[in-house]
Amino acid sequence: MTTEGLTVLIPAEKIAARVAELGAEISRDLADIDELTVVCVLKGGFIFTADLVRHLSIPCRIEFIRASSYGTHRASTGKVMLDHHHDPHVEGKHVLLVEDILDTGLTVTRILEELRTHNPASLRVCTLLDKPSARTTPVKADYTGFTIPDVYVVGYGLDAAGKHRELPYVASLNA
């Protein structure tokens, strides 16, 4: 399907089904903990996080961290900036970092480094989208929604210069 310069890669129905599966898998894996601290990476991870936590059967607390490596361009700048006004409280907590897309790996690596300085009890990563062909740093997610090719994607929280976040599907942005 193509709409206004976009090609749908993952339809809304497929996303909804996979998010439910991820919620069940995470709940099974972490069934023995009292509480999970879910750390949402803003801005792109907000829709995925909201949908995911509704599928968790374990009590959770939601925190936020803001990070960016894109600026106004379609490619990572290679420099990850964290907004420390959103530092999550994770000391001694079981933490699930929820990210929209694992691309170069620089953002997730930088956030994991920061979270580890606060001594969480455990630390796992869940990403909606994984783009392993773009990876420049050796980081892997514990939970992955979909593996995608090295194309620029928008929708379901991901944007291009602030546009297309609201789309219920993931689409590639045609050049």
Looking at the DSSP bridge assignments, the partners of residue 98 are: 40, 126
Sign, CA torsion 141/130/158/83: positive
What is the residue-level pLDDT of the chain in tens, covering all 175 positions?
546 789 999 999 999 999 999 999 999 999 999 999 999 999 999 999 999 999 999 999 999 998 876 555 555 556 666 765 556 789 999 999 999 999 999 999 999 998 999 999 999 999 999 999 988 999 999 999 999 999 999 999 999 988 999 999 999 988 6
Q: Which of 32, 83, 87, 103 is catalytic?
A: 103
3-state secondary structure of 146: strand
Active site residue 142: no
Kindly list the domain boundaries of the chain, sorted by start residue.
12-151
> Residues 78-83: contacts with CB within 8 Å, 24+ apart?
78/104, 78/106, 80/106, 80/107, 80/109, 80/110, 80/111, 82/110, 82/111, 82/114
Its CATH architecture, for the domain 12-151, is 3-Layer(aba) Sandwich (3.40)
Order of all β-strands in the sheet with 60-68: 81-83, 60-68, 36-42, 94-102, 122-130, 143-147
End-to-end CA distance of the chain: 16
